[in-house]
Chains A and B, each alone.
Chain A
Amino acid sequence: MSSVVLGYVPNALGDAAAEAAVHEARQRGATLVVVNTTRADRLVDPTYADDDDMSRLQGTLRTSGVDFTVHHGTSKDTAAEDVLDAAERHAAELIVIGLRHRTPVGKLIMGSTAQSILLGAACNVLAVKA
């Protein structure tokens, strides 16, 4: 069965991406694979969804009726690597992520998860703009 991978972040952008991913998955009759991981290498990681965020997301996904699995937790790889990894494992036909503006300096120092996914993916990537 085909699958769609969603790189989720707990904010408005992530919710917009989730909505688009649900839409795509339904159209394709695909399983939705939700990925949200952290390396736990910092005290505050705003892109990591806590349990409340996750159960909220799962609630909306359940009501949407698509088939889904969740990949959530601490990982030693970066978020981008985890998303690409999940896409490969599930032989995804599409990756859905949110895309936001980054300052050049921020990108230089912290790197860009979106950019790594866009360049590293073997399938199409849908970049959702909030």
Chain B
Amino acid sequence: MALLEGFSVAMQPMYLLYALGGVLVGTAVGVLPGIGPAMTVALLMPITYSLDPTAAIIVFAGIYYGGMYGGSTTSILLNTPGESASIVTALEGNKMAKAGRGAAALATAAIGSFIAGTVATVLLSFVAPYVAEFAVQIGPTEYVALMIVAFLTVGALLGASVLRGLASLALGLFIALIGVDALTAQQRYTFGNPFLADGIDVVLVAVALFAVGEALYVASRLRHGPVKVIPVAGRWTNWMRKEDWKRSWKPWLRGTFIGFPVGTIPAGGADVATFLSYASERKLAKGERKKQFGKGAIEGVAGPESANNAAAAGVLVPLLTLGIPTTATAAMMLVAFQRYNIQPGPLLFEVEGALVWALIASLYVGNLMLLVLNLPLVGIWVKILQIPRPYLYSGILVFAAMGAFSVNFTPVDVFVLLVIGVLGFFMRRYGYPIAPMVVGLILGPIFEDQLRRSLAISQGDPTALVSTPIAATIYVVLIVIFVLSFWLRKRQRAMESEVVEETPAAAVDLKEGGK
């Protein structure tokens, strides 16, 4: 019922236009290597501040889903994945394109993404309210437990090294401390500077890290000479042959059911799901088809592409129900929620039900738009790649500076943006993931508040933090998630080394930041 109400909001012409704009921008940034949905959401955040919350969230959701579609196009036609979740697609997809089957690869990727996105959104619609119902029962101690889960998983699992992830997280938590203490009004780390007394705005840090730092990094690293685009032949209506349908539908569904659960646990986002799906498709293939793997098997495109879209929807479950972001883009959406004074977390479904259901409804709509748009518009996406890189990067930097200025209309903010942006560049350069820092910054104040509240209730007894049954359960779940995630990562690594010689050059650059 609530979902129908959501549709009635999302289907309003104005919101449909916003969704269309979102998916178009999302696909475009998905196509461009080095520019991802997280960066785009960060850049657009200051600009969308004048929109009403529903419109802004719909735009961001469109960008999020669009980015997942866009990456596959460049993977298949150019062998340079636009984002990290499309690396696997390049393995089989580009081989197919070289064999003149590019159209079928694009079609199976798009249709698979659509089916997976829709099925996963249905799962989200069913699962999320149950989790939310459980979530409203939790108090400060359980909340602290959840935050610890979020910190540790995001810190330890996003990025290649656990230590660096945790260091990045600690940096974020530290920046969150700057400002005035909410309970005692004491100044912390402000050095008596009135500017720092307000704290450092999350949006500022996010834009600096995701836009300025990334743009500087990509500008200094990604230098791929011109790549030949493999032309796509035939009308898009007969891209898929009957046999392609027959070989694709099972991988689509398998990819969906692999991707969604992987997305819901904080295991590092969609690219883990794509690797798992690829591995299972290769294992399940028999006879002739098995031999095709590595030479352009359609299953190897259909499965992973479905998995990454399903994972994208899965990520929204912990985000919307518990307020825990598990990927960089999810972290940016969380920042967006906070900008509108919407507190994501257990109460979100209760307090902001209309908004959440409108968001979920817009995911259905966006998926359909993406399917319709993507197949006929491949030519335009490829044209975007002809934009000279200096134009792109200067555009991003100008946009970022403008956005930073518009946060408080003070020039100091632009200076802070540059400082943190340069920091972000060096973090990227030396392999420190930036998502944990942003997550620490967002969740830090909430964590502190809840921790002090629960300690006040227990009168300073720290054992109270683990003694309630729900909190204890959450810690157990944390351990399970860790074991599961490390196992998944090991599988992924094993597979990566297996296919390492086939992995396209661009993939290595993307692995870290694309998330």
Contact among A39, A40, A43, A50 for B78, CB-based, below 8 A: A43
Chain A neighbourhood of B385, CB < 8 A: 42-44
Which stretch of B220-228, B352-360, B492-500 is in the interface? Answer: B220-228
Q: Is the CB of A43 within 8 A of B224?
A: yes
Q: Which of A56-77 contact B (CB under 8 A)?
A: 74
Chain B neighbourhood of A44, CB < 8 A: 78, 226-227, 229, 382, 385-386
Instruction: Answer whether residue B71 sits at the interface, using C-beta atoms and an 8 A cutoff.
Output: no
- Report the nearest A residue to B31, measured CB to CB: A43
Chain A 43-56 interface mask (CB, 8 Å, partner B; 1/0): 11110101000000
What is the distance, in angstroms, from B302's C-beta to the closest C-beta of chain A? 25
What CA separation (Å) do A74 and B225 show in the bound complex? Answer: 8
Instruction: Answer whether residue B194 sits at the interface, using C-beta atoms and an 8 A cutoff.
Output: no
What is the distance, in angstroms, from A20's C-beta to the closest C-beta of chain B? 25
What is the distance, in angstroms, from A62's C-beta to the closest C-beta of chain B? 23
Instruction: Answer whether residue B390 sits at the interface, using C-beta atoms and an 8 A cutoff.
Output: yes
Chain B neighbourhood of A39, CB < 8 A: 388
What CA separation (Å) do A46 and B388 show in the bound complex? Answer: 12
Looking at chain B's contact residues, is the secondary structure mostly helix, strand, loop, or mixed? Answer: loop
* Contact size range, A: 10 to 19
Chain B neighbourhood of A40, CB < 8 A: 223-226
Instruction: Answer whether residue B72 sits at the interface, using C-beta atoms and an 8 A cutoff.
Output: no
Contact among A41, A42, A50, A74 for B228, CB-based, below 8 A: A50
Chain A neighbourhood of B223, CB < 8 A: 40
Chain B neighbourhood of A43, CB < 8 A: 32-33, 74, 78, 80, 224, 226-227, 385-386, 389
Q: Is the CB of B389 within 8 A of A45?
A: no
Q: Which of B380-396 contact A (CB under 8 A)?
A: 382, 385-390
Chain A neighbourhood of B229, CB < 8 A: 44, 46
For chain B, the count of residues having a C-beta within 8 Å of the partner chain is 19
Total of A-B residue pairs, C-beta within 8 Å? 42
What is the distance, in angstroms, from B471's C-beta to the closest C-beta of chain A? 50
Q: Is the CB of B78 within 8 A of A42?
A: no
What is the distance, in angstroms, from A84's C-beta to the closest C-beta of chain B? 20
What is the distance, in angstroms, from B464's C-beta to the closest C-beta of chain A? 56
What is the distance, in angstroms, from B227's C-beta to the closest C-beta of chain A? 6
What is the distance, in angstroms, from A49's C-beta to the closest C-beta of chain B? 10
Among A41, A48, A50, A74, which residue has the most Cβ atoms of chain B within 10 A?
A: A41
Chain B 202-225 interface mask (CB, 8 Å, partner A; 1/0): 000000000000000000000111
Chain A neighbourhood of B386, CB < 8 A: 42-46
Chain B neighbourhood of A41, CB < 8 A: 388-390
- Report the nearest B residue to A44, measured CB to CB: B385
Instruction: Answer whether residue A3 sits at the interface, using C-beta atoms and an 8 A cutoff.
Output: no
Q: Which of B219-278 contact A (CB under 8 A)?
A: 223-229
Q: Which of A18-43 contact B (CB under 8 A)?
A: 38-43
- Report the nearest A residue to B387, measured CB to CB: A42
Q: Is the CB of A42 within 8 A of B382?
A: no
What is the distance, in angstroms, from B332's C-beta to the closest C-beta of chain A? 25
Chain A neighbourhood of B225, CB < 8 A: 38, 40, 74
What is the distance, in angstroms, from B461's C-beta to the closest C-beta of chain A? 59
Chain A neighbourhood of B74, CB < 8 A: 43
Q: Taking A43-B74, A74-B225 as given, write out 10 further A-B residue pairs in contact, using a Cβ cutoff of 8 Å, ordered by the A residue number.
A: A38-B225, A42-B385, A42-B388, A43-B33, A43-B78, A43-B386, A44-B227, A44-B386, A45-B226, A46-B386
Query: Interface on A for B, CB 8 Å cutoff?
Result: 38-46, 48, 50, 74
28 interchain pairs, CB-CB under 8 A: A38-B226, A40-B224, A40-B226, A41-B389, A41-B390, A42-B226, A42-B388, A42-B389, A43-B33, A43-B78, A43-B80, A43-B224, A43-B226, A43-B227, A43-B386, A43-B389, A44-B78, A44-B226, A44-B227, A44-B382, A44-B385, A44-B386, A45-B226, A45-B386, A46-B386, A48-B226, A50-B228, A74-B225
A-B pairs, top 9 by smallest CB distance, nearest first, are: A45-B226, A44-B385, A40-B225, A43-B385, A48-B226, A41-B388, A42-B388, A44-B386, A41-B389
